[in-house]
Amino acid sequence: MKNIIIILISCICLSSCATAQNVSKTAEVKTDTVAEKMLVYQLSNGGWPKQLQDKSVVKYELPITDALLEKIKATSSLHATIDNAATTREINALMLAFKNTGNQAYLKAAKKGIDYLLEAQYANGGWPQYYPDRSSYRAEITFNDNAMINALTVMLNIAYKTNGFELVDAKYIAKAEEAVKRGLECILKTQFVQNGKPSIWAAQYDENKLTPAKARAFEPASLSTGESVGVVRFLMKLKNPSAEVKTAIANAVAWFESTKIVGVRYDKIAEKDRGLVKDPDAVSWARFYDLQTNKPIFGDRDNSIKDRIEDVSQERRYGYAWYGTFAQNLLAKEYPKWLKANNF
C-alpha cells in the first residue's frame, strides 16, 4: 500500500511539472530584434528621432551598447520627427512585428506613435517636419522626403484597415478618417496655381499662410517634382475619389507631361562632380522649378538661386539630387492604371 501511495505521489509530481513547463512555453513572448530596438529609441511623446542628441543617425542595425543607450536616454522629445521616414517607419514596422509575434508591447508602442501623429497634425490638416520643436523651418508643413504623405498613409491604412492596421483598436478609425479628411483638404489647398491653373506642390509651406516656403539654404521655395509625385500617388490610393481629387491628379499629371526633359540625364562627369549627360532614351525632371516660369532652379549653400546647374558649387552639384526620373513611372504606368481602375 505504501509503495502504491509513493507511485501515485510521483505521478502527480511529474504531471504537475509537465503542466508547469507547458504553461511556461505558452506564456513565452515572441520578440523581433529590430522591434525591440525601436522600443528603446521611442521618445516620451510617442515619436522617434532621426538623429540623437549628439547628431548621430539612428541606425537599427547597430547593437545597443551601454554608450549608445546613454545617448538615446539623453535625446529629448524635441527630436521627434517625421523627417526621413522617422516615426512612420517605426509605426509600420511595429505593426508588422505585432502581427508576426502577437507581442503586445509592439502594438502599444505603435499606438503611442499614432497618438503622436494625431497630436502633431495642424488644424488645417498639415504636418510639421518636427513636433513639438518649432525652430527654423521645422514648423513648416512638410511634403519634403514624403514626410506628410508618410503620416497620411498611416492614417489611411488605419481608416481602410489595410497593411496590418486592421489590428489597431477600432476607436482609432474615426480619428484616422478625420485626419485623412483634413490632410486631403490641405493637399488640395496647397496645389500651386499658375495663371489660374493648378500645377504641382512645393516641398514645404508656411504653416499659417499655406504659401510655398524655403527650407535649407539650397532648398528654395519652388515647385518640387519628387514630392509632388508622392502626393499624386497618395491621392490615387483614395477610394471613390471626389471630383476635386480627380481634377488635382489630372492637373498634376498634365504639368509633369509639359515639363519633362528628354535626351539628358544627371550623372557623374568627373571625380566628385555631376552634371547633365546626353542620353537619347532618358526622360527626367529637375528637382525644383520656379513657381511662375516652370524653369528649373538650383540652390546653393550661400542661399543663392541659380538658373543653371553648372553655376552651382561643385560640392552641391555632387551632393544633391538635382535631376531625376521622378514622374516617369507615374506617367507611363501608374496614372493609366488608375484611369482604368476608375473607369475614365
- Joined grid coordinates for residue 205: 509651406
- Residue 20 is classified by DSSP as H
- Joined grid coordinates for residue 310: 553648372
Q: Which of 45, 84, 92, 157 is catalytic?
A: 84
CB atoms within 10 A of CB 108: 13
**Nearest Cα to 322, choosing from 341, 290, 298?**
298
Please report the beta strands in 68-183, taking only residues with DSSP state E, as ranges in sequence order: 141-142
Going by DSSP bridges, is the β-strand pair 197-198/261-270 parallel, antiparallel, or unpaired? unpaired
CB atoms within 10 A of CB 181: 13
216 is catalytic: yes
CB atoms within 10 A of CB 153: 21
CB atoms within 10 A of CB 111: 19
Place of cell 511634403: 143
Q: Calculate ∠ Cα 141-59-319, nearest 5°.
A: 60
84 is catalytic: yes
Place of cell 508643413: 141
Torsion of CA 191, 176, 164, 248, to 10 degrees: -20
Q: How many CA atoms lie within 13 A of 31 on its CB side?
A: 7
Cα(13)–Cα(264) distance, rounded to whole angstroms? 80
Q: What is the CA radius of gyration of the chain?
A: 26
Question: What is the residue type of 97?
Answer: A
Cα(308)–Cα(256) distance, rounded to whole angstroms? 20
Question: What is the residue type of 308?
Answer: R
Q: Which of 22, 134, 208, 216 is catalytic?
A: 216
Residues 6+ apart with CB under 8 A from 115: 46
Q: Calculate ∠ Cα 330-185-86, nearest 5°.
A: 65
Point out the residues that are catalytic: 84, 216
